Chain A
Amino acid sequence: MQSRSERLWKRVSPHLRRGIFKENPIFVLMIGLCPVLAITTSVSNALGMGLAVTFVLLGSNSIISCLRKVIPREIRLPCFIVIIASFVTIVELLLKAFFPLLDRSLGIFVPLITVNCIILGRAEAFASKNSLKDSIIDALAIGIGFTCALILISSIREVLGNGKIFGLSLGFPPALFFLFPAGAFLVIGILMGIIQFLRKGR
């Protein structure tokens, strides 16, 4: 058993490292930024959005990987979009039914997951060329990377823009600027700079 779980970890960990650091969808690949700017005003929204995207990615990556030999190359994009849109609609219905508060605060950005380029990007670049097992691991890795990035950005914006953390006041006047999209660009830009600096090692 020991060796089996070790082997599994050996197989998963490089993917995880790739999803969170080397190919982080937001900070390194810089895709899917639109919802990031809009919903990272609070940590709870960011977590909800991250999990929703991870779920859609998991569903679409596995189905597309299963069908990769059946789908003809010329019509792959419409096929991918139909599959992705179905999963997004399911997420939307589930959120409305079981997490109405989260659904209310995420608003229009749940249906817009359909056009999030992270998901189509993974379908095209990974799931349509790799086995089911690898596609599931890839979806989890990229989803976790996306969620981590959202939480990092939203915690900075919530603290600076609202002057609160977990509903507790921090005792300084909040800078509303950080809640506007311009504030989001600034936070993301500075974080990207720091991460590039660390990656390049100078």
Chain B
Amino acid sequence: MSEKKNWMPRWFYQLASPRWSYNIMGKLLPGFAICAALLLIGGTIWALMFAPEDYQQGNSFRIIYIHVPSAILAQSCYMLMAVAGAIGLIWKMKVADMVAKSCAPIGASIAVLALATGAIWGKPTWGSWWVWDARLTSMLILLFLYLGVIALHSAIENEATAAQSSAVLSLVGLVNIPIIKYSVEWWNTLHQPATFTLTERPAMPAEMWVPLLVMVIGFYCMFAVSLMMRTRNEILYRERRASWVRELLEKQ
């Protein structure tokens, strides 16, 4: 079996080392933090002051610049959590478990943000804060899945067991992601279909969607920053008995 090809890239196995992950995340953090700050501040100013208002909704459409990035990110974060959970299950990689655990609270807060901004927009536009249509309901289920994962992590004392069971829960909940995405196409919903698709031109002029794109990338950078900070914290806590962590603490 010695000639068996190793088909995973080297960094994948290096990620398995908490120490290596801790250091690489420390190096990546400042770059992402600067990008996030620049993009979010620039994007917000652009979106609120320079983007034109909508012909129909006036200025209230500007909530799209928070709503859409947070809704996209809440789903991406869930996928990351499920994939990290699966890697933790299959390769028994501790760092993957820590990433999955760190995803949950961040994803939950972003999902709350998406639901709240949607409700605030829905009242003036639709005439209702909340409607039980397929898009809104599946998004609410996503929030409950996040809360379930958080609850499992805090309910089970043993870290390995907690990681396993929450990974299984996040994998089961993964089925919800395509449902959220396609709910507006499969069923009659009050929520409008996607303005952006990969195959067609956006149903929005460039002076409106460019700041939106800036905000989306900014949200992703901010997510990367908070995820890496949480994960580093988690690494330090779980590896608190390792010699390199002790050395690190003594240096400070």
Q: A and B from one assembly?
A: no
Instruction: Please give the residue numbers on chain A whose beta carbons come within 8 Å of chain B beta carbons, in ascending order.
Output: none
